[in-house]
Structure formats: structure tokens, C-alpha cells
Amino acid sequence: MRPESPMTRVFGRPPVLIETPTHYCPGCTHGIAHRLVAEVIDELGLRGRTIGVASVGCSVLAYHYLDVDFQQAAHGRAPAVATGIKRVLPGRVVFTYQGDGDLAAIGTAEIIHAANRGERITVIFINNAVYGMTGGQMAPTTLVGMRTTTTPAGRDPVVYGFPLRVAELLAPLPGVAYASRVALSSPAHVNRAKRSIRRAFQTQLDGLGFSIVEMLSTCPVGWGQTPIDAMRWLEAEMFPVFPLGELKAPAEVKA
């Protein structure tokens, strides 16, 4: 390699993403999701006006990876904390980063009412069909028949109902301006996921209403699978239950 040769930087660590060892398990897609959020914040030039809200679960330490102001919320309450921040500082960009136990179980009241009020916040919703941090228990998003530590014989819909489709639940609310579901299981899906996050933040910047990106994610340890198998399982088993796509998008921010 010739050191004098002119080089164009085509790839690098986004400045908002802190260079630090990860605590996430091998094959977990939280790291990808963090990176995408960091890239979007950098590309939209939002670093000096963004506040994140971390929730309870594996991503509770999101502020160790994303170099913006952060507030850590109680389990499920991130949309309420984000509401408090955004209402007092309407000119700032506020996002929550929540898992499925947090958002779709204990925090259903907070997410539905923040969405229904049309809070100008962006929600990054990680759906990996399981409680990761507490050790692989059933989540509201757990698939029918899926084995978890609290459904050892598989999720029985007679006992526990069916997987909760959050994006479909929220999209019809008038306060919701942008709702999509993406996946983090392949480079092509990751690219689409990033575009979706960008549109969600743009929706907030344009003051159009509430925005949410549901990201189908892996939890190899919680699922008892290798990282490669987990990616395959996600596409084979989760895609049919959680269809991908933009459920709602304002015309002006559609790509």
C-alpha cells in the first residue's frame, strides 16, 4: 500500500458511536441497531440536539455506545420520559430505544398513549421475540409454539394469546405519522432498516407526529441457537408472523 495515494473514506465508525468493547452476546443485533441509529444521527447532523431514552433490558446501557445525552427509564416508561423531555424542549430530537418486553408488555399503556398523543418522538423498537436480559422468558412477541424458559412446552395461545404485532397496532392511530417494520438479518435488510430509521427521525424533525421503527432482531442465547442459525430462524419463522414494510409514512418523507 502506498501511503501517499489519495484515499476516499467509504466506511468508518460514525462519530456518535463510542469506540468501546461491546457487552452484547455474539450474534446479537443490538450492535447493528445502535450503529444504524448513530449513523442517522450523524448524517442528519443531530448530535448537538438529540436526547436518547434508554429502557430496561439488554440495551439499558445504550448510553455506553451512543455519545448523546441520555436518560435511563424504568421498565416500559421510556415513552413517558421522552414525553416529559420533548414537551419541555420541543426543539430537541428525542428518541427511545426499547425492547419487546419493555414496550409491548409492561409499557403498553405508555407506548399507546404517547403514540395517540402524536408525541414528536422516535421509537426504536427491538423485537426479538424473547426477554433477553432476564434469561429467555416469554415475551408478548414470542411465537406460537416457541419454547422459552417460562413456556417450556412452547407458547400455547390458549394460555398466553398470540404474538403482539406492535407496528400494526400503532399505525392506525391518527397521532402516528410513521410506522414500519424492518429486519436486521442480512446486509440488504440492514440497509433498508437504516433508511427507515432515517425516515422516522425526519418525520420527527418535520414535526409530523409519532414515529416508530420495529426491528426484527436476534437473540441467539435466548433462543438457544448459533448466530448463523438465529439469522436464518428469524427470516424463516418471524417474517411470516411479523411482515416487513412501511405501514404508514408521510408522503414528504417517503423515499
Partner 1 sequence: MMPAFTKGNEAIAESAIRAGLRAYFGYPVTPQSELPEYLARRLPERGGVFLQAESEIAAINMVYGAGARVMISTSGPGFSLMQEGLSYLVGAEVPCVVVDMMRGGPGLGNIAPAQGDYFQATKSAGHGDGRLLVLAPWSVQEACDLTRVAFDLADRYRNPVAILGDGLLGQMMEPVVLPAPVEPARDVAWATTGAGSGPARVITSLDLEPEALEARNRRLQEKYRRAQQEVRWEGYRLDDADVAVVAYGISARIARTAVDRARDEGVAAGLVRPITLFPFPSQAVRDVASRVRIVLVTELSAGQMVEDVRLAADGRVPVRFYGRFGGMVSTPPEILDQIEQAASEVRAA
**Stretch near partner 1 under the rule CB under 8 A, chosen from 68-76, 123-131, 189-197, 213-221:** 68-76
Closest CB to partner 1 among residues 96, 180: 96
Question: Shortest Cβ distance from residue 75 to partner 1 (Å)?
Answer: 9
115 contributes a contact to partner 1 by CB under 8 A: no
Question: Shortest Cβ distance from residue 105 to partner 1 (Å)?
Answer: 14
Closest CB to partner 1 among residues 72, 225: 72
User: What residue ranges in 139-216 does DSSP mark as E strands?
Assistant: 176-183, 210-216
Question: Shortest Cβ distance from residue 2 to partner 1 (Å)?
Answer: 38
Question: Shortest Cβ distance from residue 46 to partner 1 (Å)?
Answer: 9
77 contributes a contact to partner 1 by CB under 8 A: yes
**Stretch near partner 1 under the rule CB under 8 A, chosen from 7-15, 75-83, 138-146, 149-157:** 75-83
Question: Shortest Cβ distance from residue 67 to partner 1 (Å)?
Answer: 5
Which run of H or of E encompasses 191? helix 187-205
Contacting residues toward partner 1, per CB under 8 A: 48-51, 53-54, 60-61, 63, 67-74, 77, 80-89, 92-94, 109-110, 112-113
